[in-house]
Amino acid sequence: MFCRTLGGEHTVNLLLQLCAAKMYSFHFFLPPPAYVRLTAYSFLCLITYYNYNINTEVESGGDVGMDIALCEGKSFYGLRMGLWEDVMRLYRLESTDPYYNLAVEEHILRCWDEDVLLLWRNDNTIVVGRNQNTAEEIDRSYADANGINIIRRISGGGAVYHDLNNVNFSFIVGLKDVAGQRMVDFMVPIAAALNVMGVPVTLDGRNDLSVHGRKVSGNAQSIYKKRILHHGTLLFDVNLDVLSRSLRVTPEKFQSKATKSVRARVANIKDWLPDVSVSAFMERLQRQLASGFSSQNLVLREADELAVLQLRSNKYLSWDWNYGETPPFSFRNKCTFPGGSVEALLDIRHGIIEHCTFFGDFMARGDIALVTKELCGLRYQVRDVDEALARLPIDMCFGTLKREEILKCLFNFESGFSDG
């Protein structure tokens, strides 16, 4: 027998290990004395919502006895996350359209009073954080060539890649004390469920779940009035090659104050569940999180569906949201072609080119100011710039350089370009 006093992340990670070891049965006392017996999963969901100080006694092969000192006045909100299934509804979102799915999240956050847990997937998509520079975070030429969607979400954090072998979860709930809410409050039910399934995840830093130091889940949040959206990824069997290539950029070419993504060592959950398909994994996760009650597919009422479709069209599909919301940044790139070298310098604000200039040893016969004047005021996207260049005498301004080569320099394309 051993005895220890634990608190915070260390307590949670110890209990996650007990879940993984199939030590499901816990005895503990609540003041006034009331004997309660819970599963490890339910117990984890419970203790997370207290400023806890736990004296733990563990006997080899036996149950765990815990005497919990509860913080006075702390709300019993934890029961809404896996213990009282009639308080929170769990829905499966069958859509794999990222523009629709993110519109559903935002609509429920802003317009519903109901507390909801969503499980959903996106087709191939790069999702950038609310405060990120989209151009800085992605390899646009690779994304376009491989049909990868690009979308901005309403929560902070870094860029992530989704495919149909990635499972997303979204807690959308009302809170009495938004300021006192912690990221871990929503991460623990997911971590506990994974451990019960045999995946030994632990809390890792502020917003990640990891297995042996390799990230399998990233989490982010957005607050609207007294409601909060907490969503995260679960890398089940994601194509890690596509993930790394689609997010690969050359950061020295960009200078901005936008939030930078932190590249982490990642792993797939399937490495620990080799015989499980992504559909079966979602079913298992659903059963754990729902504590035995049957969830349902999300079917929106007509008014909700109309509002979601409008949000999808007017916001999530728009260039203004996905690129125009980018914080101000500067772009600098130098390329060498058979017709000479060219260096482009751009200042971009709200996705609009405010200033641009070119340097190089290309054999110009005319004034390069003709080009810079035409480009300033345009949206920083290939189609707009390409159309502007097509109206200009490229041979006068850039000698034997081709229009396609100028575009490659302006947008850092490694090969080819898209009209997106």
pLDDT tens by residue, 280-309: 999 999 888 876 455 688 889 999 999 999
CB of 359 closer than 8 Å to CB of 367: no
**Residue 314 pLDDT > 70, yes or no?**
yes
pLDDT reported for residue 206 = 74
Rounded-to-integer distance, Cα 22 and Cα 18, Å: 6
Better pLDDT: 23 or 145: 145
* DSSP assigned state of 379: B
pLDDT the model gives residue 405: 93
Contacts of 333 (CB under 8 A, 6+ apart): 253, 343, 344, 409, 410, 412
Q: Are strands 227-235 and 254-256 parallel, antiparallel or unpaired?
A: unpaired
The pLDDT, as a whole number, for residue 77 is 30
Q: 80-324 maps to which CATH number?
A: 3.30.930.10
User: Taking a C-beta distance cutoff of 8 angstroms, is the pair 53, 5 a contact?
Assistant: yes
Helix residue ranges, H only, 197-319: 240-246, 278-290, 302-311, 319
Selected residue with higher pLDDT from 273 and 174: 273
* 68 pLDDT above the threshold of 60: no
pLDDT (mean) for 306-316: 97
Rounded Cα distance, 163 and 121, in Å: 7
pLDDT band at 229 (very low <50, low <70, confident <90, very high): very high
Can you tell me the distance from the alpha carbon of 286 to that of 91, in angstroms, rounded to the nearest whole number? Answer: 9
Q: What is the chain's alpha carbon radius of gyration, rounded to the nearest angstrom?
A: 26
**156-168 pLDDT, tens per residue?**
888 899 999 999 9
* 148/79: higher pLDDT: 148
Tokens standing for residue 163: 């495919």
Q: How many other β-carbons are positioned within 10 Å of the β-carbon of residue 272?
A: 18
Which tokens in the block code for residue 183? 């990221």
* Least trusted range by pLDDT, from 73-82, 209-218, 240-249, 337-346: 73-82
Q: What is the DSSP string of 95-141?
A: ---HHHHHHHHHHHHHH--S-EEEEE--SSEEEE-TTS-HHHHS-HH
Whether the pLDDT of residue 81 is over 90: the answer is: no
Q: Which residue has the tokens 């779940």?
A: 209
CATH number of 329-411: 3.30.390.50
User: Has residue 103 got a pLDDT over 90?
Assistant: yes
Place of tokens 């709300």: 75
Contact indicator for 320, 343 with CB cutoff of 8 Å: no
Question: What integer best gives the mean pLDDT of the chain?
Answer: 76
- Which residues does 239 contact at the CB level (< 8 Å), separation at least 6? 163, 165
Phi, psi of 53 (to 5 degrees): -135, 110
| Per-residue confidence band for 13, with pLDDT thresholds at 50, 70 and 90 | low
Residue 44 has phi, psi (to 5 degrees) of: -60, -45
pTM (whole model) above 0.85: no
At residue 364, does pLDDT exceed 80? no
Helices (H) and strands (E) in the chain, counts: 14, 20
**Size of the chain, expressed as the number of residues it contains:** 420
Give mean pLDDT, residues 232-252.
Answer: 82
pLDDT band at 19 (very low <50, low <70, confident <90, very high): low
Highest mean pLDDT among 93-97, 130-134, 157-161, 225-229: 93-97
In the predicted structure, residue 368 carries a pLDDT above the cut 70: yes
Residue carrying the six token digits 């490229």: 394
Give the pLDDT band (50/70/90) at residue 246: confident
30 burial class (0-12, 13-18, 19+ CB within 10 angstroms)?
exposed
Q: What is the pLDDT of residue 96?
A: 97
Angle between helices 184-196 and 8-20 (to 10 degrees): 20
Tell me the pLDDT band of 49, cut-offs 50, 70 and 90: very low
176-226 pLDDT tens trace: 766 666 787 788 888 888 888 889 888 877 788 999 889 999 999 998 988
Q: Give pLDDT, residue 38.
A: 40
Name the percent of the chain in helix, strand, coil, to the closest 5: 35, 30, 40
Domain segments of the chain as ranges? 2-74, 80-324, 329-411
Using the predicted structure, report yes or no on whether residue 114 has a pLDDT greater than 50.
yes
In terms of Cβ atoms closer than 10 Å to its own Cβ (0-12, 13-18, 19+), residue 119 is buried
**Given the structure tokens 């097509």, which residue do they identify?**
390
Cβ count near 303 (within 10 Å): 9
What is the mean pLDDT of the segment spanning 341-355?
90
Q: Is the pLDDT of residue 39 over 60?
A: no
Burial code of 338-364, b = ≥16 C-beta within 10 A, e = fewer? ebbebebebbbeebbbeebebebebeb
Q: Span 77-93, mean pLDDT?
A: 55
* Encoded amino acid at 312, one letter: R
- Give the mean model confidence (pLDDT) for residues 330-347: 89
The share of the chain scoring above pLDDT 90, in percent, equals: 38
Q: pLDDT (tens digit, 9 = 90+) per residue, 136-150?
A: 788 888 888 899 999
